[in-house]
Structure 1
Amino acid sequence: MSVSLEKRIPVGTWRSVGLRVQGLTTAEISIGGSSIRAISVQTKGIPYRVGRIDPRNAFVIDCSPLRLLYVRPDYRGYRYAAGKVFPRTPWQVDYDHALGRQLALQLGFRYVLLLRVAPSVNRAHGAYERPPQGGKITLHKFCFADRRIMDKWLGRRPRHGGSQSSPMRYEVGGRQVFGLTLKQAGFWGYAMGVEDGPLKLTGLTAL
């Protein structure tokens, strides 16, 4: 009788969600972009309209296994859009802009990636997302997560130095690959809406 030594990962765990995003890197997901086309090209995904929501306000990029929701920074209906896209959870979550709304507006990005995070994590990062005085519009078409944003993405409190009144400045040009354990990859994928199984495109229409 042969005995399998392969370690089985139970469904419904962070590690099982991490398996869904294996092969993807943190540098492949833009957290902000200048246009629907720029983001769809960068992510190599297909853009979709969310229900009857004007795609100038919110749209989805399908790049399996990811279904990424991008919203206009000043779009007040982002929670409604998130409710149409993200699977329901048995616990409370906040739908949070990966790049702070005011900072995104200051930098000139038209769309920002939306994440689902724990409310306590969202609050802890709030003071670090205020735009600095004298900031300028960037010429970059998209931007990516830095260490502080990745901490939020993984459900961590900010670890950067500096006081809350003097938050760390976000550098637009950075594009880092952060090494993730399988469990951390599960947190990362979950924040973007990944579940154990494939996500359906119900209520979405290709643009």
Structure 2
Amino acid sequence: MLAIDDERVIEPGTWRYVGLRMKDWNLWNVPVAARSAAVLEQHFRGNCYRLGKIQTRNVIVVEFDPIRLIYVRPLFRRYRAAALRTFPPSTWSIVIDHVLGRAIAHSWEYQYVLLQRLLNASINSEHALCERVLAPLSVHPDLCFWDARLRNKPLNRGPAHWGYEPPDYDPNVESGAAMTLKQRGRWGWALGTEDILEPHPELTPVTFA
């Protein structure tokens, strides 16, 4: 039976359908950066995988239906190739992007950064101006989550979408912003979620306990 929302049938292949599949995932439980592999494993209650023969120090894939997330070492150079092996094939031209700027993550000594796929290269370039190396942190949480600016990018919005320059990213400030079903679908698609989660032949379970 198809899901019903606002008395309309939500068809597969739409942003809203993906949004329904992402109903249990939010800006505050999908980390954009992690201090260590063990921290990722604990947060996702296991469900961590090695991608092919790539060392887990460089890439960790998290698979937890309906999501399949890819985290990479900030300075890992072959991140685009790894992402294209992880994300479902796309008929559109896509940009592979570090959700949290990799220079920021590296300077703050985070070992893993989440990747996403974007449809708009110019929007990605606009956000690059906000991804310079920031001042050292007084408190380093084990996990970083989304703020308003990071959320704007997969929604195809510039950094100043709300009419003002966004503040510097602060991992100690959580975003409580809600998303519409369509927005949640665009966000989920950026992270690799589609209508179904196809089996991936290159994933091997790993543990870091």
TM-score when scaled to structure 2? 0.89
The answer to whether the Cα contact below 8 Å between 2:67 and 2:197 also exists between their aligned partners in 1 is no
User: What one-letter code is carried by the residue in structure 1 that aligns with 2:106?
Assistant: L
* Alpha-carbon offset, residue 77 of structure 1: 0.6
Within 5 A, what are the aligned runs for 1:104-183? 104-118=105-119, 119-132=121-134, 134-136=135-137, 138-159=139-160, 161-162=164-165, 168-183=167-182
User: What one-letter code is carried by the residue in structure 1 that aligns with 2:60?
Assistant: F
Cα separation, 2, equivalents of 1:136 and 1:173: 9
Cα separation, 1, equivalents of 2:24 and 2:31: 16
- Residue 185 of structure 1 is matched in structure 2 by 184
- Residue 204 of structure 1 is matched in structure 2 by 203
* Alpha-carbon offset, residue 177 of structure 1: 2.8
Q: Which moves more between the two structures, 103-112 or 36-45?
A: 36-45
Cα separation, 2, equivalents of 1:169 and 1:38: 24
User: What one-letter code is carried by the residue in structure 1 that aligns with 2:172?
Assistant: G
Identity over aligned residues, as a percent? 37
Could you give the per-residue CA deviations for residues 32-62 of structure 1, whole angstroms, max 9, x where no partner exists? 0011110121233411000111110011011
Unaligned residue ranges in structure 2 (runs of 5+)? none
Could you give the per-residue CA deviations for residues 103-152 of structure 1, whole angstroms, max 9, x where no partner exists? 001111010000101222211111111113x4247532111111100101
Do the aligned partners of residues 49 and 109 (structure 1) sit closer, same or farther apart at CA in structure 2, a change above 3 Å counting? same
Q: CA RMSD in A?
A: 1.9
Do the aligned partners of residues 70 and 88 (structure 1) sit closer, same or farther apart at CA in structure 2, a change above 3 Å counting? same
- Residue 87 of structure 1 is matched in structure 2 by 88
Do the aligned partners of residues 39 and 91 (structure 1) sit closer, same or farther apart at CA in structure 2, a change above 3 Å counting? same
SS in 1 for 2:9: coil
* Alpha-carbon offset, residue 168 of structure 1: 2.9
* Alpha-carbon offset, residue 84 of structure 1: 0.9
User: What one-letter code is carried by the residue in structure 2 that aligns with 1:142?
Assistant: L
The answer to whether the Cα contact below 8 Å between 2:47 and 2:63 also exists between their aligned partners in 1 is yes
Within 5 A, what are the aligned runs for 1:28-39? 28-39=29-40
Q: Which moves more between the two structures, 81-90 or 138-147?
A: 138-147
- Residue 73 of structure 2 is matched in structure 1 by 72
Do the aligned partners of residues 179 and 62 (structure 1) sit closer, same or farther apart at CA in structure 2, a change above 3 Å counting? same
Q: How many residue pairs align between the two structures?
A: 199
* Alpha-carbon offset, residue 6 of structure 1: 4.4
Unaligned residue ranges in structure 1 (runs of 5+)? none
- Residue 46 of structure 1 is matched in structure 2 by 47
* Alpha-carbon offset, residue 199 of structure 1: 3.0
The answer to whether the Cα contact below 8 Å between 2:13 and 2:195 also exists between their aligned partners in 1 is yes
Cα separation, 1, equivalents of 2:10 and 2:141: 40
- Residue 60 of structure 1 is matched in structure 2 by 61
